[in-house]
Amino acid sequence: MIDPHVYREMGLNDAEYAQVETTLGREPTLTELGMYAVMWSEHCGYKYSRPVLRLFKKYQEAMDAGAVENAGVIDIGDGQGIVMKMESHNHPSAVEPFQGAATGVGGILRDIFTMGARPIAILNSLRFGTLDDARTRYLFEHVVGGISHYSNCVGMPTVGGEIYFHPSYAGNPLVNAMAVGVVPLDRIASAAAKGAGNPVLYVGSATGRDGIHGATFASVELGPDSESKRPNVQMGDPFAEKLLIEATLEALATGRVVGIQDMGAAGLTCSTCETAAKAGMGMTIDVRRVPQREAGMTPYEIMLSESQERMLAIIEKGFEDEVAAVFHKWGLNAVVIGEVTDTGRVVIKDGETVAAEVPARSLTDDCPTYSLAASEPAYIQEVQSADLSHLPEPEDYNAVLLKLLATPSIASKRWVYDQYDSMVQTQTTVLPGAADAAVLRLRGTQKAIALTTDCNPRYCYLDPYVGAQIAVAEAARNLSCVGATPLAVTDCLNFANPEKPDGFWQFRRAVEGLADACEALGTPVISGNVSFYNETPERAILPTPTVGMVGLLPDADKRVTLRFKSEGDLIYLVGDGRPTLGGSEYLSV
């Protein structure tokens, strides 16, 4: 009899545990229990957010077709596609900022090149508490250090982003990473384990004990014991990632890779069950064959480890040695650990012992979902009816301007972006600081793409629906101001505890605003991420639906930057120019 304390500590409630027993027709093993716990966490299963995310038409279509992939793809013509994705690494960065931020970069890059795309750029959106706090300064310095270390070492340009400071992020910083790649549309790779009898290849770094239950850690609020969760934070190796990028793209070029997926959140558990379920197949693996860097690891630890720089590949039978040789050439592990079956079940063996045997779809498609209660927070009516007409006009506008320019959220971020190599790969034509969007020329063409990330969380606090729309509109303006036509959106939806009605209301209204704005502008949401439980015992973060957007310039030479060009040029204010101070930095200082 499993003690309820065990599964509750893993993140399962009583009803979910009962569903596990009903599905299996018996009491689960410890390994099975751990697999269900991570896959049914909000971080992996989206059990609270999935019903709301169906408001995004592209997501709904992909869900209905069983075609959700690691990242989204948008056609840019001439047989090329842009692959893009944004994800969060908030909780890991709160307890181990350097590695938390670094592995956030590594994980988002793997989502790109597992699609067969070559990554060409990274952006980030960062939120911290106020800089008068020593802990905030420590987090800020080490998050930036982790991003720059990983991206610079892997040879990936960090070309843009945003940084925002507000007391609500004290103790719970937001670290959102966005990556973009280019892929021939006829060579997009899928994460489906097709073909009974096809071998399953483990590639990349060896498995250790780092990151175990990292997905579960990301699905709870931060509290006083969060520092003890450091073992839940993964450790990154950017040099291994660089080898993995090149080896994976070369292996895909052989045409012998049937399916491939990154071992990200939930590690081997996620990659085995998701690839099998997507193809309607099963899979059998032997964890004894998994390369391990620590002695005495149990099946539970191996299946739940979130060690970095690892992939699972399904290979056409008979060609596993050819594909493995590609990875070996790059100095990487490549070991056959199992095969695809037609049983629909994921079987985890430990030598001759069966450690777990579960229906693949029960871990993915059958993850329970919930329609949570939502109610408008009490503060909304108060802030939306606030009368600002009594505010006095400043006596010295120059002094006001200087004070605003000195605030950390507005002041120059040169100290940050000077740590990033923005020119590596030599495609960046508009650098950080030169415009509110980055521009990268596409090799072999005259075209360029523009990239931006945007969100004003104060607007979203005052009105999540309108604030989310403003974030989409700002991103589109930033792209148009460099000469690009906006094409598509990836998002990272950062919110507080969804199990509190006011927190879930903020989330739902923001998604409604994003969906409506993207529909109006013709910029579909093609990928994204949800990060809940961003709060501490003291406070919740401001609702922060970060928008990443890509646009296309037919002619890279016609890009535009923001600086004044020539004396005598005219300056125009475009738009209706309605004055409003709501949600402004001015009111906060």
Q: Which residues are catalytic?
A: 43, 89
User: In angstroms, what CA-CA distances link 535 with 320, 362, 546?
Assistant: 46, 30, 17
Distance of CA 334 to the CA centre of its chain: 26
Whole-angstrom CA distances from 20 to 74, 345, 379, 443 are 38, 14, 40, 50
3-state secondary structure of 535: strand
Residue with tokens 């299946």: 303
CA distances from residue 166 to 132, 297, 507 in whole angstroms, order as listed = 11, 42, 19
CA 151 from chain centre, in angstroms, equals: 16
**Residue 413, exposed/middle/buried by CB under 10 A (0-12, 13-18, 19+)?**
middle
Q: CB–CB of 513/455 below 8 Å? A: no
What span, in angstroms and rounded, lies between the C-alpha atoms of 117 and 262?
Answer: 14
Please give the Cα distance from 37 to 71 (Å, whole number): 24
Contact 264, 241 (CB under 8 A): no
> Are 171 and 536 a contacting pair, CB within 8 Å?
yes
Orientation angle between helical segments 14-24 and 30-39, nearest 10 degrees: 120
- Residue carrying the six token digits 């008979």: 318
Which residues have C-beta within 8 Å of that of residue 172, sequence separation ≥ 6?
90, 94, 222, 534, 535, 536, 541
Which contiguous run of DSSP H or E holds residue 347? Answer: strand 345-350
- Burial category of 188 from C-beta neighbours within 10 Å (exposed 0-12, middle 13-18, buried 19 and up): middle
